[in-house]
A and B are shown apart, each in its own frame.
Chain A
Amino acid sequence: MRFALPSPGTGFAAWGRKATATLAGAALIAACATSCSKGISSTDVASPSPSGQDISSLATTVATSDGTWATVAMGQLSQPLNTFWQLLFRPTGATSWTDQVKATAVATNGGLVLASSQGKSLIVGVRPTNLLTFSPLIDTFDGGHTWTNGLLPYGLGAYPSALAAGPSGRSLALTDAPTSAAGQSVLDSEHLSSWQTLVSRRDLAASGAGQACSVAALTAVAFEGKVPAIGARCVHSGVVGLLAPSHGSWRLVGPALPESLRAGSVSVMALEPTSEGLSCLLTVTGPFGSRVLAAWSGDSGQTWRLSQPIRLSASEAVRSIGSVGTSGLFVLLADSSGPARAEVVSGQAAPWTALPTPPIGTETLAFGPGTTVEALAVSAAVLTVWSLGPNSSGWHKGQVMQVPIDYGSSS
């Protein structure tokens, strides 16, 4: 077998071939660079998450005639399906808490919303999670000895005041999941079943009052007497989004903000019925930073009394809120390192009182009976109850409860 070696390229034809090859090469390189530019370019910069005006947790306490109820998240809090909300109860006259969450008979990964009708009963709404899309409800009139249940056909909203219990068994529920193109809605029922839509966010936003507020989201529901009240987060500055029904439509019934805060946008964090009427907790965010203030009304919103505003630092967020006594409110603030401070206002015209810095892991506070103040602190599956000493001298460790969390059961 002989092999013939190719003769070197000569002449114009050879030059043409080389030139063609070079041009083709240049074109290919350019095409390579262009087509790969998508892979070359830097990855998209993640858009910063918007700062929230809403409360960061559903942890709260509710006082009833039978005792105090609380809900806190426990477990592996970085994993949603291994976070389980507990339902804790301290009967009147007792000094220790028990875990009653078994009564819900459903996975509590989504959170619990508590409501009480004038302290006589407790309603617990279970927020859906994973493949569940509706919210079971349970209620008790005897401190958890017996329970009846109800069904909210949609998901309950992630707000501490998403449930309200009114007189004669009437209830309000703020739903989170879109029930239709209308989005969030407030539903109304007589006995925790047969819910009817009272108003949707879309319809509320389209009303005159809603336009004056420019409703961004619905955030709270309550009854003032027999009249429903709906709290909202407004886009328009200086407007408090508290709405009540009026002649087939809705009207703004919230307080007027002090001049210094009118440049801020307002969110209604919570609505709490009082012995005189209604109280609300507001966050105001503007060029001046963030403020929290309380307001009380006893005449369906015609007049209001406002507390002094609490100034929040840039790193603080509202961690837990709740009622104190018949007309007081508390606010637990936290930053990235944990609970930062707790403020209590006992009622109208009272100043905010700062409690000693709560212990690490404090998720909520419980007040009463009398001057008792307890901090419920959580570390994974361990609940520690701290009591505030006399004259607010400091926190003293009390009950420690190990909750048997069934990790992986919701997966």
Chain B
Amino acid sequence: MGSGLSTNDPTIVAAFHRALFHQGFVIFLLLTLVAIAWSFLRSIQLRRAVLSESGASEKGTVTGGVTGAVAPEPVARRLIRISFGLIWIFDGILQGQASMPLGMIPQAVQPTAAASPTWVQHLVNSGSTVWTYHPVSMAAAAVWIQVGIGLWLLAAPRGNWSRLGGVASVAWGLAVWVFGESFGGIFAPGLSWLFGAPGAVLFYCMAGVLIALPERSWLQARLGRLILAVMGLFFVGMAVLQAWPGRGFWQGQAGRAENAGTLTSMLQQMAQTPQPHLASSLVSSFSSFDASHGWVVNLFAVIALGAVGAAFLTGRPGVVRIGVAAGIVLCLADWILVEDLGFFGGVGTDPNSMIPMALVFAAGYLALVRIPAPSTEVVSMHVADAAARVPWRERLSADPAYAFRSIAALSAIGILLVGAAPMAFAAANPNADPILTEAIDGPPTTTDMPAPAFDLVDQNGRQVTLAGLRGKAIALTFLDPVCTSDCPVIAQEFRAASKLLGSESGHVALVAIDANPRYISRDFLAAFDQQEGLEHVANWEYLTGSLPTLENVWRSFAVEVAYENGGAMIDHSDVVYVIDPDGHTREVLDADPGPATQATGSSFAQTLANGIKSALHSR
């Protein structure tokens, strides 16, 4: 799966940047409107405040009292919300790399999926297909969705808007975990905490769940204990996995010649990826160290993971504190020496799992030890209840903090929708974007010239002439019946284009003319039709004639046909002429199938169908 195009194809990169610019402009307009709305709202609020000072409104006083008495956000929640908000924004910025549209699937998604069971691959492929077919839309969408979620988390610190942001974080995180990370690779061999198991984005989901919890959940130590218990079990489980024999992690002893262990092999690969010299030298040095001391490294990893996990499981603040400190150091070390900061080289989409993981268990510790005092809790609950009884319209105009949160959250949702809407349209479109064809063949050449006449016979022996096809739009190409590569692909693209035309295909003729001077008998056309399943396509015509007649037709359509040396097939131009019902050529398309993937084939079919439709309606 993949379009087969070069990752940095200039046409796709330019289209991607255009899409980001246009969508960014829409967001700019949106934020401008929001700023105007906020300004208008503030003027209403100020007017009300002046009136309330003169004793005109009871509700304003209550609301002002509500604002002044609300307790600050729990520290743990604030850590999770702000840090993951920033991480989502950072991930969104990473998604804006030029190589994302074409590199995401083959370089980031496929390698993990390839090592996973078949059912995982099928599931991932369904998402990968949408991306491959619409690389620009999907890549741009991913930027704005992630930036939108990040801004949402940052801009809406409290209340239902903030909780909804957490839900959005979970929803998108799960989608990425399944389709982008192949369930974090948990079903693939070689699973290891060292390499980021069970997938970075799963910790984003955990953070989203925590943010989505009612705020009163943070007012007791139970939540902190639960978070630490989950993380403790996770670390202990990872320690057991790391200790498991036969997985290549217990390799590497000085003075013993043996194959590179699993960790060493991974580090060697990571060191090769494009990145700053300092980073690659660190990874490379650690790789050398692991090659000769891998056994010790793994022993350390097992003990460290187990100890940190056990510390979390105790639930004792003093012990947990030590575990958190050790865990942070361990995570940072792995992040630098093994995960290579997560986003260097190739197509880096996020800083990998160590930072989010550390944030989650650090928040768990804070939720355990830094909870609001009981008296403040009671007041906060009364205040929240009072606020809930005030209609939201009144709150908007009377409560500046609530108004700001609402408008900021709506702005972030707007940004998210700027990404999500094109993504939804792309997912609903089963046909690939014509931009892929444009990247391979350039845009179609538009023209308005009388098409050259021809008088040939089809695969069934019937005479076919250009004049006889008047009244129909014609897509005409030149195919070698014994071609082993391009021509069968082009034939299938014609077939797909005909299907896209639906009921209009009855007004269209799909014409191919034999382009092999050796094999011009109808037997070969019939064999080709049978090979390609075209024998029952009603509007398909495969034409031939005598060699002099064919040579004339090739010349008149400027098609070059030549024998090749060395055992190569006949060389001929890959070209399609789109002719309108009046016999005028309207478009000339380069029909080179390029990498001839499913995506490029679908894209060319769409391009061809668009050209035919245009020719049909040109009268």
**Measuring CB to CB, which residues of chain A are less than 8 angstroms from any residue of chain B?**
1-6, 8-9, 18, 21-22, 24-25, 28-29, 32-33, 36, 38-43, 74-75, 84-86, 99, 101-109, 126, 128-134, 136, 138, 147, 149, 151, 153, 193, 381, 403-406, 409-411
B121 to chain A, nearest CB (A): 15
Q: A28-B237, A86-B567 are in contact. List 4 more A-B contacts (CB 8 A).
A: A29-B237, A38-B187, A105-B482, A130-B484
Query: Is B563 interfacial (CB-CB < 8 Å)?
Result: yes
Does B191 lie within 8 Å of A39, measured CB to CB?
yes
Which of B72, B527, B569 has a CB less than 8 Å from the CB of A134?
B527
B residues 534-581 with Cβ under 8 Å of A? 563-571
Which of B190, B247, B485 has a CB less than 8 Å from the CB of A410?
B485
Query: Is B317 interfacial (CB-CB < 8 Å)?
Result: yes
Does B484 lie within 8 Å of A4, measured CB to CB?
no
Q: How far is the CA of A108 from the CA of B564 in the complex (A)?
A: 11
A-B contact pairs, 8 of them (CB 8 A): A32-B237, A36-B191, A42-B246, A105-B516, A107-B569, A130-B484, A410-B484, A411-B485
The closest CB in chain A to the CB of B570 belongs to A105
Q: How far is the CA of A323 from the CA of B483 in the complex (A)?
A: 33
Residues of A within 8 A of B372 (CB): 1-4
A57 to chain B, nearest CB (A): 15
Does B531 lie within 8 Å of A134, measured CB to CB?
yes
Interface stretch of the complex, out of B166-174, B228-236, B353-361, B404-412: B228-236
Q: How far is the CA of A39 from the CA of B571 in the complex (A)?
A: 49
Which of B188, B241, B369 has a CB less than 8 Å from the CB of A5?
B369
Would you give the 0/1 interface string for B515-530, flagging 1 where the beta carbon is closer than 8 Å to chain A?
0111101011001001
Would you give the 0/1 interface string for B221-244, flagging 1 where the beta carbon is closer than 8 Å to chain A?
100000001001100110011001
A171 to chain B, nearest CB (A): 15
Q: How far is the CA of A85 from the CA of B241 in the complex (A)?
A: 53
Residues of A within 8 A of B376 (CB): 1-2
The closest CB in chain B to the CB of A147 belongs to B518
Does B187 lie within 8 Å of A131, measured CB to CB?
no
The closest CB in chain B to the CB of A25 belongs to B233
Does A109 lie within 8 Å of B567, measured CB to CB?
yes
| A109 in contact with B484 given A25-B236, A28-B233, A85-B567 (CB within 8 Å) | yes
Does B72 lie within 8 Å of A1, measured CB to CB?
yes
Residues of A within 8 A of B371 (CB): 3-4, 6
| A133 in contact with B482 given A1-B376, A84-B567, A406-B565 (CB within 8 Å) | no
B206 to chain A, nearest CB (A): 16
Query: Is B315 interfacial (CB-CB < 8 Å)?
Result: yes
Would you give the 0/1 interface string for B580-609, flagging 1 where the beta carbon is closer than 8 Å to chain A?
000000000000000000000000000000
Does B374 lie within 8 Å of A4, measured CB to CB?
yes
B residues 334-362 with Cβ under 8 Å of A? none
The closest CB in chain A to the CB of B240 belongs to A29
Q: How far is the CA of A102 from the CA of B563 in the complex (A)?
A: 6
Does A129 lie within 8 Å of B484, measured CB to CB?
yes
Q: How far is the CA of A103 from the CA of B129 in the complex (A)?
A: 42
Does B237 lie within 8 Å of A40, measured CB to CB?
no
Query: Is B428 interfacial (CB-CB < 8 Å)?
Result: no
Residues of B within 8 A of A102 (CB): 563-565
Which of A18, A126, A133, A405 has a CB less than 8 Å from the CB of B566?
A405
Q: How far is the CA of A84 from the CA of B370 in the complex (A)?
A: 75
Query: Is B373 interfacial (CB-CB < 8 Å)?
Result: yes
Residues of B within 8 A of A32 (CB): 237, 240-241
Which of B247, B313, B484 has a CB less than 8 Å from the CB of A131?
B484
| A106 in contact with B373 given A24-B233, A131-B488, A406-B568 (CB within 8 Å) | no
Does A132 lie within 8 Å of B531, measured CB to CB?
yes
Residues of B within 8 A of A2 (CB): 372-373, 375-376
Q: How far is the CA of A15 from the CA of B180 in the complex (A)?
A: 42
The closest CB in chain B to the CB of A14 belongs to B315
B65 to chain A, nearest CB (A): 19
Residues of A within 8 A of B570 (CB): 105-106
Does A105 lie within 8 Å of B569, measured CB to CB?
yes
Residues of B within 8 A of A104 (CB): 518, 567
User: Which residue among B190, B376, B518 has the maximum number of chain A CB atoms within 10 Å of its CB?
Assistant: B518
User: Which residue among B187, B229, B564, B569 has the maximum number of chain A CB atoms within 10 Å of its CB?
Assistant: B569
Residues of B within 8 A of A126 (CB): 482
Which of A18, A21, A128 has a CB less than 8 Å from the CB of B484?
A128
Does A105 lie within 8 Å of B517, measured CB to CB?
yes
Which of B247, B315, B368, B485 has a CB less than 8 Å from the CB of A9?
B315
Which of A5, A105, A151 has a CB less than 8 Å from the CB of B563?
A105
Q: How far is the CA of A21 from the CA of B313 in the complex (A)?
A: 8
Query: Is B489 interfacial (CB-CB < 8 Å)?
Result: yes
Q: How far is the CA of A406 from the CA of B518 in the complex (A)?
A: 19
Does A43 lie within 8 Å of B189, measured CB to CB?
yes
Q: How far is the CA of A74 from the CA of B571 in the complex (A)?
A: 20
Does B187 lie within 8 Å of A39, measured CB to CB?
yes
Residues of B within 8 A of A3 (CB): 369-373
Q: How far is the CA of A131 from the CA of B370 in the complex (A)?
A: 68
The closest CB in chain B to the CB of A33 belongs to B240
Does B240 lie within 8 Å of A406, measured CB to CB?
no
Does B564 lie within 8 Å of A409, measured CB to CB?
yes
Query: Is B18 interfacial (CB-CB < 8 Å)?
Result: no
Does A107 lie within 8 Å of B567, measured CB to CB?
yes
Q: How far is the CA of A7 from the CA of B565 in the complex (A)?
A: 88
| A193 in contact with B567 given A6-B317, A33-B240, A39-B190 (CB within 8 Å) | no
Does B241 lie within 8 Å of A33, measured CB to CB?
yes
Does B188 lie within 8 Å of A1, measured CB to CB?
no
Does A6 lie within 8 Å of B221, measured CB to CB?
yes
Does A193 lie within 8 Å of B568, measured CB to CB?
no
The closest CB in chain B to the CB of A112 belongs to B567
Does B484 lie within 8 Å of A106, measured CB to CB?
yes
Would you give the 0/1 interface string for B293-315, flagging 1 where the beta carbon is closer than 8 Å to chain A?
00000000000000000000101
B415 to chain A, nearest CB (A): 33
Residues of A within 8 A of B247 (CB): 40
Query: Is B71 interfacial (CB-CB < 8 Å)?
Result: yes
B57 to chain A, nearest CB (A): 30
Does A403 lie within 8 Å of B527, measured CB to CB?
no
Does A151 lie within 8 Å of B524, measured CB to CB?
yes
Would you give the 0/1 interface string for B178-202, flagging 1 where the beta carbon is closer than 8 Å to chain A?
0000000011111100000000000
Residues of B within 8 A of A108 (CB): 567
Does B569 lie within 8 Å of A410, measured CB to CB?
yes
Does B232 lie within 8 Å of A25, measured CB to CB?
yes
Query: Is B22 interfacial (CB-CB < 8 Å)?
Result: no
Q: How far is the CA of A404 from the CA of B565 in the complex (A)?
A: 6
Q: How far is the CA of A101 from the CA of B569 in the complex (A)?
A: 10
Does B527 lie within 8 Å of A130, measured CB to CB?
no
Residues of B within 8 A of A43 (CB): 189
The 5 closest A-B pairs by CB, nearest first: A84-B567, A105-B518, A2-B373, A108-B567, A130-B484
Residues of B within 8 A of A99 (CB): 565-566
Q: How far is the CA of A52 from the CA of B503 in the complex (A)?
A: 55
The closest CB in chain B to the CB of A381 belongs to B566
Which of A75, A129, A403 has a CB less than 8 Å from the CB of B565?
A403
Residues of B within 8 A of A40 (CB): 189, 241, 244, 246-247
Query: Is B316 interfacial (CB-CB < 8 Å)?
Result: yes
The closest CB in chain A to the CB of B376 belongs to A1
Would you give the 0/1 interface string for B370-397, flagging 1 where the beta carbon is closer than 8 Å to chain A?
1111111000000000000000000000
User: Which residue among B190, B316, B530, B565 has the maximum number of chain A CB atoms within 10 Å of its CB?
Assistant: B565
A8 to chain B, nearest CB (A): 7
Q: How far is the CA of A2 from the CA of B72 in the complex (A)?
A: 11
Does B483 lie within 8 Å of A132, measured CB to CB?
yes
Residues of B within 8 A of A151 (CB): 519, 521, 523-524, 527
Does B237 lie within 8 Å of A138, measured CB to CB?
no
Q: How far is the CA of A131 from the CA of B480 in the complex (A)?
A: 12
Q: How far is the CA of A40 from the CA of B250 in the complex (A)?
A: 13
The closest CB in chain A to the CB of B571 belongs to A409
The closest CB in chain A to the CB of B314 belongs to A18
Does A4 lie within 8 Å of B373, measured CB to CB?
yes
Residues of B within 8 A of A85 (CB): 567
